Chain A
Amino acid sequence: MKKKKRIAQKILWVLSILTLIFLWAPMILIMVYSFSNSKYGSSWEGFTLKWYAKLLTNDQVRDALMRSLIIAGVTVVIATLIGTMTAYGLFKLNFKGKQFLRTSILLPIVFPSVVTGGALLVFFTRLVHIPLGFPSIIIAHIVFCSPLAVFIILGRMQRFDWSWEEAALDLGATPFRTFLRVTGPQLLPAIMASAMLIFPWSFDDFVITYFVSGVGSTTLPIYVFSQLRFGATPVINTIGTLFVSITMLGMVLVYFVQKMGKSSTT
């Protein structure tokens, strides 16, 4: 019996490692090549950091990077705020149509990006006339990032013991003070986690941004796309490596924030 289990375990282990290799190999390759001295960025010809140096002097890249950072920053703040309020409302209140609202909130993240991107483009140009560029991009990002915040924070909320809120009320704190002194601190890890997950999502987004950005508002992903037609280039390798590193950093931070949150909860 035990032998069978161990064989199965080994087989599964091999399969898992293969799957991981499948998922990671391309990106590891890119990261390696970003340090390669090859002009085409698709083979290894010695170690160098020159592509990273070149990146810093590239104006186009700098502009795009700034734009992406600003958009992501604004989106994170607003989406997290909306997400927290919505999660609180959904958790506490019960009303007809709540299920419908919950499902509707899911739509932006589940629909293919082409559909939401196309729909928003038409909406911005034909109906509401919001200028394409920062306004349209930021709005679009908020639309598809808020649901993420909602569900992350809602998920945390469902694991709480809310009798703390009643205790605070009972001890003389108004609902506002209760949120300030009790609920808020408890939710902070989840809020931080959602902020750190939304940032890469907004920063990396391509399809929707491409649709609603109009002319001249190049974000970093759009820049990457425009370079893609040239095949592999070292520039993209470096940018790609940065992207992946940012995401990994974000994930690590999220993990530690969650851990901190857990140690103060029993």
Chain B
Amino acid sequence: MSGSNTRNTEKQTAVCLEIRDVVKQFPGVTAVDHISLEIQEGEIFSFLGPSGCGKSTLLRVVAGLENQDQGDILIAGKVVNALPPYKRDCSTVFQSHALFPHMDVAGNIGFGLVERKLPKAEIKERVQAKIDLVNMGGMEDRYPHQLSGGQMQRVALARSLVLEPTVLLLDEPLAALDRKLRKEMQVELKRIQREVGTTFLNVTHDQKEALSLSDRIAVMKDGVLLQIGTPAEIYETPRTRFVASFMGASNIFSGNVVSASDGKIKFQTEEGLQVILPEPADIAFDQISGFSVHPELIELQPGNVDSLAAGSAEDMLVEGTIQEVFYLGDFSEISVRVNDTETMLTIYQSRSCNEPDTRIAQGQPVVARFPAGSMNLLVG
């Protein structure tokens, strides 16, 4: 039953959880709309999306706390649709941690083991091991109301991990914690996962958390899977408009392809700007609807195009005027209005010790340079 016993060390990339064409509807809304994907053993996989996108519902369907209207859930290759949650080989860490108030830390962690009717000595041993794993040593006798938020979450984690499930499901476990604590817990989570090797299925609305924690991310919106990939792929090459803006690529241009030659395409934006991009291997030209650029990749130089330093021919150059500068300490957020249009650009400029004379100020004419590699094609 436990994942570590049946883990096949020969197959490095075994599929431990498969979600097959799952649909879940509630009155008036389709929470999960035909979602299929496979999760590899030992990876940290995150569902990322805004609230209401269906990620929590999907997680609960996997756990068995909700029943899907259609589709299958397979854990370690076995269809589990008909199994109630207490018979499935997965365990959930809840957002509200859901510790049992009338049991102490050791009692909480040992709960599932008692249900499995294991001998007391073994329960004690396994509970102690997990208490040490999550750094809660010495707190075995405390009750939940005596613990802090972070401590409660660690106990919840230990309580689920002690059962050695094939998949550990985490339902926005850090959402209720304050920022500093959240960062510490993210580090803890990663360390613990590396140590036990269990597959983690994480649900979150926090992009940074998903990026720093996950091996792969699936972005969801309105019950639909928009994109799956590694953090780098999701961040640097978002495929759709929504994913791009959700990951912070605040500069999105619409337009279409006007010509193509020599492995390059010429793209014209609605504002009339033209840019040359390498021809994409997997997208048809008529599907390309625009491109996105992350704010930290854009370079600003005061003046106009003529006074510019040399750059690559494939950079896009845009003239504009600075609307507002938001000083945020480690970087500044600058909004620039493109001349003769209503388009606003968002640019992050890191604080640096060089060029103290080129302080950017409101009202200044600037040129924004979009380096060749910064423009990411969007579909749909």
Chain A residues with CB under 8 Å of chain B are: 161, 163-164, 166-174, 177, 181-182, 185-186, 263-266
What's the Cα separation between A162 and B87 when bound, in Å?
Answer: 20
Q: Is the CB of A172 within 8 A of B65?
A: no
What's the Cα separation between A171 and B90 when bound, in Å?
Answer: 8
Q: Is the CB of A186 within 8 A of B102?
A: yes
Interface string of B142-166 (1 = CB under 8 A from A): 0111000000000010011001000
**A177 partner, pick from B115, B145, B156, beta carbons under 8 A:** B115
What's the Cα separation between A185 and B87 when bound, in Å?
Answer: 23
Q: Is the CB of B111 within 8 A of A168?
A: yes
**B145 partner, pick from A167, A181, A265, beta carbons under 8 A:** A265
| Identity of the chain B residue whose Cβ is nearest the Cβ of A185 in the assembled complex | B102
| Identity of the chain A residue whose Cβ is nearest the Cβ of B63 in the assembled complex | A170
> A169-B65, A171-B86, A171-B160 are contacts. A266–B115 as well, Cβ < 8 Å?
no
Q: Is the CB of B101 within 8 A of A265?
A: yes
Distance to closest chain B CB from A118 (angstroms): 45
Could you tell me the dominant secondary structure of chain A's interface residues?
helix
Interface string of B80-122 (1 = CB under 8 A from A): 0000111100011010101111100000000110011000000
Distance to closest chain B CB from A121 (angstroms): 45
Q: Which 3 A-B pairs have the closest CB atoms?
A: A171-B112, A167-B98, A163-B98
Could you list some 7 contacts between A and B, CB below 8 A?
A: A170-B63, A170-B92, A172-B86, A172-B87, A173-B115, A265-B145, A266-B145
Q: Is the CB of A173 within 8 A of B111?
A: yes
Q: Is the CB of A171 within 8 A of B94?
A: no
What's the Cα separation between A161 and B94 when bound, in Å?
Answer: 12
Q: Is the CB of A171 within 8 A of B65?
A: no
Chain B residues within 8 Å of A263, by CB: 145
| Identity of the chain A residue whose Cβ is nearest the Cβ of B95 in the assembled complex | A163
Q: Is the CB of B84 within 8 A of A169?
A: yes
Distance to closest chain B CB from A3 (angstroms): 42
**B111 partner, pick from A171, A186, A265, beta carbons under 8 A:** A171
> A185-B102, A264-B143, A265-B145 are contacts. A169–B86 as well, Cβ < 8 Å?
yes
Q: Is the CB of A266 within 8 A of B86?
A: no
Distance to closest chain B CB from A105 (angstroms): 27
| Identity of the chain A residue whose Cβ is nearest the Cβ of B65 in the assembled complex | A166
Chain B residues within 8 Å of A186, by CB: 101-102
Distance to closest chain B CB from A170 (angstroms): 5
Distance to closest chain A CB from B377 (angstroms): 42
Q: Is the CB of B115 within 8 A of A167?
A: no
Q: Is the CB of B96 within 8 A of A172?
A: no
Chain A residues within 8 Å of B96, by CB: 161, 163
Task: Enumerate B44-75 residues with CB–CB distance to A below 8 Å.
Answer: 63-65
Chain A residues within 8 Å of B98, by CB: 161, 163-164, 166-167
Interface centre among B86, B116, B156, B160 (most CB of A within 10 A): B86
- Excluding A167-B94, A173-B111, 5 further A-B contacts by CB distance (< 8 Å) are A169-B84, A171-B86, A171-B163, A172-B163, A266-B101
Chain A residues within 8 Å of B91, by CB: 170-171
Distance to closest chain A CB from B152 (angstroms): 9
Distance to closest chain B CB from A95 (angstroms): 15
Interface string of B171-186 (1 = CB under 8 A from A): 0000000000000000
What's the Cα separation between A234 and B87 when bound, in Å?
Answer: 67
Q: Is the CB of B86 within 8 A of A173?
A: yes
Chain B residues within 8 Å of A167, by CB: 92, 94, 98-100, 156, 159
What's the Cα separation between A164 and B111 when bound, in Å?
Answer: 12
Chain B residues within 8 Å of A164, by CB: 98-101
What's the Cα separation between A164 and B152 when bound, in Å?
Answer: 13
Q: Is the CB of A264 within 8 A of B115?
A: no
> A166-B65, A186-B102 are contacts. A172–B92 as well, Cβ < 8 Å?
no
Chain B residues within 8 Å of A161, by CB: 96, 98
> A163-B94, A163-B96, A171-B159 are contacts. A264–B86 as well, Cβ < 8 Å?
no
Q: Is the CB of B94 within 8 A of A166?
A: yes
What's the Cα separation between A174 and B144 when bound, in Å?
Answer: 23
